[in-house]
Structure 1
């Protein structure tokens, strides 16, 4: 019997080697892609220390104070609909697992709470194709990571200004500006109505998970524009809170905050955190 089976086993060797070779080829077919984000005001780059006129319904003048945002699950979409999630580079600072922190301020001008360090892109690998035509990503952290102890976490979940101690979670978006009437006008998007504690866990009335889907995106050619003129287009940045129905300038993700529905809509969310159609006024492809 041994004499019969031995040649057959040797015959398998080239097949096994060929299979291993195919696996190596598949591995080598992965390519590094960079998804670039471009914060703007209309066609002008958004920078600290610069003022921008004609913003919102009152045609206000704004200046940037801070702008950071958590993203996750960045996915490239081929023309045939095939989807490939980026395997993010684990850089120890901005990217961890499938999560990335974007930071658009450099600590100059009125951005006094920031630092020179910036991160305007997400870098990762995906199968190499020349027909990527779409992009999808989520804004924010998943509920299972949103209520970790930031002081004990690894980057980028250890950024203190992105931790909402009173809310028991992270800010998914922290965008602060100032206008003529408001020294600070806030947009802090995160989960809302949360109760609990770090050791015991949390429940939230709205997780506020936004999924952004953009067509016409080639990672080799295009940027994702974040247009503040579009974000504030239906809002009065000079509105002064009345102290009763509106407690502070801007939106802190409160269910009854009058500024939140307009800002949430630019992320494809209703005021209660449920999904709705995404406009192309804040997020768009350039």
Structure 2
């Protein structure tokens, strides 16, 4: 029923706009931070994680889909996205024999300077679209991820914003929904890649995954034009011991690649709404919250 409700809400949005007597354009602002400071490619951050390690940014991008505003009474209104041909778009997918409209946008927090030397100068920190012109929006909702029907297409044949090679993970024939690459302690790469797990198959014959690893996040206290969604890297890594990560044998990669048996994912996945843990999105000290 949840999927049916979501699809219906998107399909009737034009009628809702007419019924309520107007619409307005909103910009959902996102920001990357470290303890209240902007996350920059030309900065070094001290005393991060359980090991009190220095940290530098290498790359930070994310896909968000099904972005919606939520009124005080709980009614949810998906954004009709501005079709800009690069950062965000609307598409139609087939799901259980029915057509659904899906929206997807890409966020890019690195500007190609400093330690982000494999990136590009362009950044994107907003999702822009139309909603009914109500004045009592008090929450925002979105999913970190790519619609499953689009997650395993050949990256060479897709439209923006899915045509970004650095967000493609060839081992699972799918996308990284969130890619955060850092350098810890001066020279040790450490990654957090949110993606589907346990995937078999290929795009031409079909891919099946045991865990899609996508969760819908609802954040209270969001007022359009006044609030923004913050990704706080210091909060994400608060329990991470960078000094002991990746022993090269049982855990060959320093970081979390969204595998259920990766010990380094235990403190990271709950902060994007997956797994179990004491910290969840939306809290005052959470990785993803409203400010």
Give the structure-2-normalised TM-score.
Answer: 0.86
**1:69 aligns to 2:62 (yes or no):** yes
Per-residue Cα deviation, 1:182-215 (whole angstroms, up to 9, x for no partner): 5310111100010001111111110001211100
Per-residue Cα deviation, 1:232-276 (whole angstroms, up to 9, x for no partner): 0111123342122211110112222111121101111017xxxx9
Q: Which moved more, 1:177-186 or 1:244-253?
A: 177-186
| Aligned equivalent of 1:199, options 177, 201, 204 | 204
Q: Is the 8 A contact 1:150 1:159 kept in 2?
A: yes
Q: 1:248 to 1:182 in 2, by over 3 A?
A: farther
Q: Which moved more, 1:178-187 or 1:251-260?
A: 178-187
Secondary structure of the residue that 1:265 maps to in structure 2? helix
Structure 1 unpaired stretches of 5+:
1-21
1:64 positional shift: 0.3
**1:156 aligns to 2:161 (yes or no):** yes
**1:257 aligns to 2:262 (yes or no):** yes
Structure 2 unpaired stretches of 5+:
1-14, 91-102
**Following superposition, which runs of at least 4 residues in structure 1 exceed 3 angstroms of deviation?**
22-28, 276-279
Matched residue count: 262
* Partners of 1:59 and 1:88 in 2: CA distance: 41
| Aligned equivalent of 1:167, options 166, 172, 189 | 172
State the match for 1:10 in structure 2: none
Q: Which moved more, 1:235-244 or 1:190-199?
A: 235-244
- Which has the greater radius of gyration? 1
Matches within 5 A, 1:171-250: 171-180=176-185, 182-250=187-255
State the match for 2:95 in structure 1: none
* Partners of 1:200 and 1:178 in 2: CA distance: 37
Secondary structure of the residue that 1:171 maps to in structure 2? strand
The alignment yields a C-alpha RMSD, in angstroms, of 1.9
**1:133 aligns to 2:138 (yes or no):** yes
1:278 positional shift: 3.6
Which structure has the highest strand share of the two? 2
